[in-house]
Amino acid sequence: MDLGLKGKGAIVTGGSVGIGSAIALGLAREGVDVAVNYRRHDTEAAAVAAQIEKLGRKGLAVKADVSRYADAEQMVSQVVAAFGGLHILVCNAGITSDAVIWKMTEQQWDQVIAVNLKGYFNYNKAAAMVFKDQKYGKIVNISSINGLRGKFAQANYAASKGGEIALSKTLAKELGRFNVNVNCIAPGMVLTDMMKTIPMEFQAKALEETVLGRFATPEDVAHLVAFLCSDLARHITGEVIKIDGGQYI
């Protein structure tokens, strides 16, 4: 099915690895020019941009600190100039720094909030300035089911993910009159390299929570992102869509 995205321009934050790279490549397969934001994975980001180019689209890798608004603003301007426009923003960049609350340091709290929540504000605001004026745009913020239910030893992460949901709902109200859709995706556990750092007993417990008996792949998330960025989803905004195999329920 043609999603009607050919010729659109997109930014995917945290687009060099894992879910972000799958989203970037999924959009490129739909005909979208894609810029990936990254901070540490230089080689991987360049590889994703090269794969986008191989798919016949413009690819761009931009090193930027999502926690700095100036970086977000500069990247948006750079992408508009390179692609001739910006139509899609997918915020995906995020970190974890786990500890129970009585052991969590102020630095752990501040770092996670700065990247996961302030980083989303920075890119949502910078993109909204463009979308509002052109009266068109699609914003998809990648949250987590843990932003809905909380998670032991993840007060900072869960709070940031819950904040992303509140941010998305608020922006949907503010930007709807400008023909801008803002939605949130809340994955459960996803099969990425990051999962390898999770002890097997925790993986087994998470798998038991699902009703489908499997974890999502990054491509599962990417398919949902592409749909929400298309005009097939033009009447969907302010929603939080779980993609978790029934893990939340």
Per DSSP, which regions of 40-81 are E strands? Answer: 59-63
Number of domains in the chain: 1
Residues labelled as active-site residues:
157
Q: Does a structural domain hold residue 2? A: no
Give pLDDT, residue 19. Answer: 97
- CB distance 83 to 127 below 8 Å: no
- Assigned domain for 75 exists: yes
Separation in Å, CA 46 to CA 39, 52, 79, 139, 161: 12, 10, 16, 24, 28
Q: Are 190 and 216 in contact (CB under 8 A)?
A: yes
Domain containing residue 124: 9-243
| pLDDT tens sequence across 125-135 | 999 999 999 99
Of residues 150, 141, 128, the one with CA closest to residue 239: 141
CATH number at residue 189: 3.40.50.720
pLDDT at 202: 84
Whole-number pLDDT of residue 194: 75
In a domain, 188, yes or no: yes
User: How many Å apart are CA 248 and CA 229, to the nearest integer?
Assistant: 24
* Predicted local confidence at residue 16, as pLDDT: 97
> Does 189 map to a domain?
yes
H-helix or E-strand spanning residue 193: none
Q: Is 4 contained in some domain?
A: no
Q: Has residue 49 been placed in a domain?
A: yes
Flag whether 124 is in a domain.
yes
Question: Which of 194, 202, 198, 213 is CA-nearest to residue 92?
Answer: 194
| pLDDT computed for residue 197 by the predictor | 76
Give the closest residue to 10 by CA, choosing from 171, 223, 229: 229
Kindly state whether residue 131 falls inside one of the protein's structural domains: yes
Could you say which residues of the chain have pLDDT below 70?
none
The tens digit of pLDDT for each residue in 212-241 reads 999 999 999 999 999 999 999 999 999 999
